[in-house]
Amino acid sequence: MKQISELVKQLHKRLQEVARPEPGRERITVSLTLQQRTSLLSWLAAQPIFPQFYWRQRDDLEEAAVCGEVIRFNDADSARYFLMTNDVADMRIWGLNTFDQVETPSLNTPKSALFLPRIELLRDMDGGKLVVNLYSETSLADDVAIAQKTIEQLTTSRPLPVLNVNVNSVQHQPEKQGWCDLLNQALEAIQQGQFEKVVLARKSTLSLNEPLNPAAFLNASEKVNHHCFHFMMRMNDKTAFLGSSPECLFLRVGQHLTTEALAGTVASSSDNQQAKQLGDWLMQDKKNQHENLLVVDDICQRLHGGILAIDVLPAEIVRLRKVQHLRRCIHAELAVANDADSLQRLQPTAAVAGLPREPARQFILQHEPFTRDWYAGSAGYISLNQTEFAVSLRSALVEGSNIHLYAGAGIVAGSDPEQEWLEIENKAAGLRTLLEE
């Protein structure tokens, strides 16, 4: 990467060229040569500018490290309206959406934490670039002055520290007996016909011997949790929500939307033959196939009315480090490209809430002993031409020396509480084992 001092000098000159006393918006771009693949995350971690958002696409086609806030949006509708009224090529709004797209006033949690960043460091198939976003409803020159102060704070990348923390204690919500009781309540509700499926989750709070560096934690996850979306929303220097999720909520390019049903789980193995045997069992297991098809049907029904055509691909096995999943990809042609509408239709999916969605969601709200907030919501970006959100699974909330890990399991008729406890243990292990190696 070019020296920061050289970049700042170049950016100051470009910013002065667009400073004017009337309202406006601009996107200043400088091409870069990125030397290391991990440089974006380590660069972001070194910056004193918040909020911060990191994104690495599942197929590693794109990576982004963004920081600073030009404008904030508490829901996807307002973010979409801003993009439509301020048509700037390639402008993206980054961040998170809550699990059920409902504000939680008591916890001061809006529907979304989406923002247009001041600074973006981006990598894609064409190379790297540094971007400065500008916007003002009164004077672009005033916003240029703010941007110039921000870029003066930019600093060089520093190597991320190696994880070296000890877990002092672990507390689950619910603990195992409470989990079994909760599942038995759910199974009784299923038997009474209240819903066909509900996805129940556990929050595990790990108390550490010292504060956890969230970027170092995510970096460790990236190295071992392959074929995942990696994301991190860092609100300040002590709090971050991050994850390594295998599931795409949706990718929209123009009016073409791709989504997926990722439901049905079995353990994985480092032994290829054993992993294949487990995967073959998953492909043939009626309970897991039924669970996956419930999600497929729900997605198709929810998209109905907003699409011109839809196609469901055959089931396949997704092999991860600790678990394997059944996945069916779904392609649809949208009648109108409206990302807020797609979010409303698809989130939360049956894979993270249940089916039918509303009674399952109500059961979760009434019976789970914690509030999900960002967990099982979505993380990603909105833009005019292309939008992508990952379901925020295999995720954690870092608060100083405490880290909260989340994992869930789909409950249908015939589910066994002991087996489902083992499933969430395996899912949580994808992140927890990083602290214990």
Going along the chain from its start, the domains and CATH numbers come out as: 4-152 (no CATH), 167-435 (3.60.120.10)
Q: Say yes or no to pLDDT of 217 above 70.
A: yes
Residues 318 and 430 sit within 8 Å (Cβ to Cβ): no
Statement: residue 2 has pLDDT above 90 = no
Catalytic one among 63, 196, 247, 388? 247
pLDDT classification of 420: cutoffs 50, 70, 90: very high
DSSP state of 105: G
pLDDT at position 7, please?
Answer: 81
Q: How far apart are CA 15 and CA 135, in angstroms?
A: 12
Is 276 assigned a catalytic role?
no
Confidence of residue 360 (pLDDT cuts 50, 70, 90): very high
Question: What are the distances in angstroms from CA 259 to CA 40, 310, 348, 388?
Answer: 27, 11, 13, 10
Asked which of 3-17, 62-76, 246-260, 418-432 is least confident by mean pLDDT, the reply is 3-17
CA R_g for the chain: 22
One-letter amino acid at 151 equals I
Report pTM.
0.94
> Quick one: tokens of 367?
């019976």
Q: What average pLDDT score do residues 29-54 get? A: 87
The answer, yes or no, to whether residue 208 has pLDDT greater than 70, is yes
- E runs forming strands in 315-431: 316-319, 323-334, 354-355, 378-382, 386-391, 395-399, 402-412
Q: Is 260 a catalytic residue?
A: no
Task: Tell me what pLDDT residue 33 has.
Answer: 79
- Alpha carbon distance 254, 311 (integer Å): 17
Q: What percent of the chain has pLDDT over 90?
A: 82
Q: Bridge-partner residues for 395, per DSSP?
A: 243
- Asked which of 136-140, 188-192, 193-197, 410-414 is least confident by mean pLDDT, the reply is 410-414
Asked if residue 271 has pLDDT above 90, the reply is yes
Tell me which of 8-17, 25-34, 95-104, 259-268 is least confident.
95-104
> Which span out of 33-42, 150-159, 273-282 was modeled with the highest average pLDDT?
273-282
Q: For the chain, percent helix, then strand, then coil, each to nearest 5?
A: 35, 35, 30
- 411 CB burial (10 A radius; 0-12, 13-18, 19+): buried
DSSP string, 136-186: ESS-HHHHHHHHHHHHHT-----PPPPP---EEEEEEES-HHHHHHHHHHH
Annotated binding site: 291, 423
- Please check the confidence at residue 37 and state whether its pLDDT lies above 80: no
The most confident of the ranges 28-32, 34-38, 196-200, 379-383 is 379-383
- Which residue ranges make up the annotated binding site for Mg(2+)? 291, 423
DSSP state of 414: T
pLDDT number for residue 68: 98
User: What is the pLDDT at residue 417?
Assistant: 94
Q: Residue 36's pLDDT is what?
A: 58
pLDDT digits (tens, 9 = 90+) for 105-136: 555 678 899 999 999 999 998 888 999 999 99
Q: pLDDT per residue over 79-91, tens digit each?
A: 999 999 998 878 9
pLDDT at 437 exceeding the cut of 70 = no
Catalytic-labelled residue, pool 111, 197, 203, 427? 197
In 10 A of CB 13, how many CB atoms?
10
